[in-house]
Amino acid sequence: MIRVCHMTSTHGNHDQRILLKECFSLADAGYEVFQVAQGEDGVEHGVTLVGTGERKTGAFYRLVLRPRHVYKLAKKLDADIYHFHDMELLPYAKKLKRAGKKVIFDCHEDFASRFADSDRLPLPKSMMRLLARAYSNYEKSVVSRIDAIISVTPHICARLSQTNPETVMVTNYPIIDEDRPWRKIEFRDADSKYICFAGQVSCNQYGLDTAVEAIQSFPDLRFVIAGPVRREADLEKIEELDENHKTEYAGVLPFSELPNLIGHSIAALATVAYTADTCDHLGTLGSNKLFEAMLCGVPVIFTNFDLWREINDRYHFGIAVEKGNVEELKKAISAILDDPERAKEMGTRGRKAVLEEFNWKSQETRLLDVYLRVQEGH
C-alpha cells in the first residue's frame, strides 16, 4: 500500500480541502493516508491524524519553529509521497526530494503576488517588490525539482506551469453526498425576508459594511451574518452603520446548520475583495462561498470576477456587483425582490450547475490522476 503524508503548518487538522476532500478521497482510493497538522492525534475516515499539539502564536514560531516541527513529525512516517500545503514548508520539500521521496506542492494562494500587495504588509513598496522577487525566485528553485504541483485556480496554475509542466488545477468545489448537509430548500416568499452571508466576519475581505449600508433602504428585509469574528472592530463598524437595526449576527453556526440559513434566505452574498489571491478582477475557484450558496438553491449576489461572470453567463444563477459599490448592491437586491419567479429560477439553475459540474467528485478524479502520474514517475 502506498503511504501518503499531507503536511501543513498553517491549517488546522479539519481543513475542508486538505482533510475532508483530498485525504478522504485518497483513503477511499486505497492509499494509506496520514495528515500532520495543528491539533490532536486521531483517526477519521481511515486517515491517521498526527497533531502538532498546542497552537502557539508569534511570527518566529509560525514561520520557523512550527514548520520544522511539522517536517520532523512527517519525516518519521517514512511516506512514499509527501503532499505539502504551505510556502513555509518549501525548504523541507527540497530535503524530502534529496531523501528520495515523491513530493507534491498544493499551492492554495498566490504567495508571490501577496508580497507585492501593499494592503497586506505594512512595508514600503520597494521592500515588498524585493520580497516578491526573492520569494518568486526561491519558489521556482523548489517547484522545478518536485514531482507535481496542484493549485485551485487558473492564474496560479499558469504561472507555476512555466516552471514545472506537471502542474494541475484541482479546485475547491463542494462535496456532494448523503452524509453532507447541503440540500435544496424550497424558495421562500414569506413576510420575514433576509439576505445572508456565511463566513468570516470581515468588512474589508467580504464587503459586509457595503451590505449593511444597502440593506437600510429595504424596510421589509434583514441582513443575517453567520461566522467567526476575526476583529471586534468589524462588528463595531457593522453596528455603527446599521442605523435601522436591520442586521443580525447569528454567531458561529455548526456546519450542518448553514444550508438551512442560506436556503431560507432570498439571496446569499459572495462578495469577495479584489486581492492578490484573486488576481484582482480575474477571480478564484478556490472559494467555497459561491458554490455552496449555489448548491442551496438560492440566487447569489457575487463579486464581478471574470471567472465567476463566465460561470454566470452559462448558468444565470445570480447577479454580479462591484465589490464595495452600495448602489449596485441595492439594484441587485431590488431585482431579486421585484421578480421572485426569476429569483427562484436563478436558485434552481445554480444548484443544477453544482450538482452537474462544480462539485468535488469532478476534482477527485483529477487528484487521483496526479497521484498515479507521480507514482509512475511522469
Rounded CA gap, 167 and 2, in Å?
22
Count of CA atoms in the C-beta half-sphere (13 A) of 375 = 13
C-beta separation of 99 from 145 below 8 A:
no
**DSSP assignment string, 17-35:** IIIIIIIHHHHHTT-EEEE
Q: Which pLDDT score is estimated for 187?
A: 46
Give the pLDDT of residue 196.
95
For position 2, what pLDDT does the model report? Answer: 96
Place of cell 496560479: 156
| Amino acid identity for residue 78 in this structure | D
Distance (Å) of CA 30 to CA 3, 21, 47: 10, 15, 11
What single string gives the DSSP state of each residue in 89-127?
A: GHHHHHHHHHTT-EEEEEE-S-HHHHHT-TTTS-S-HHH
Q: If you search the block for the grid coordinates 514545472, which residue do you land on?
A: 164
Instruction: Return the pLDDT at 283.
Output: 77
Domains of the chain: residue spans and CATH: 3-173+359-376 (3.40.50.2000), 193-356 (3.40.50.2000)
Predicted confidence at residue 206, as pLDDT, reads 87
Q: What is the pLDDT along the chain (378 residues), one digit of tens a residue?
A: 999 999 999 888 899 899 999 999 999 999 999 999 999 999 999 999 999 986 667 777 777 889 999 999 999 999 999 999 999 999 999 999 999 999 999 998 877 666 655 555 566 777 777 877 888 888 898 999 999 999 988 888 998 999 999 999 999 898 886 555 555 455 444 445 899 999 989 888 888 999 999 999 999 899 999 999 888 999 899 999 999 999 999 999 887 888 889 989 999 999 988 666 666 677 778 778 899 899 999 999 999 999 999 999 999 999 999 989 999 999 999 999 999 999 999 999 999 999 999 999 999 999 999 999 999 886
Alpha-carbon gap, residue 128 to 109, rounded angstroms: 17
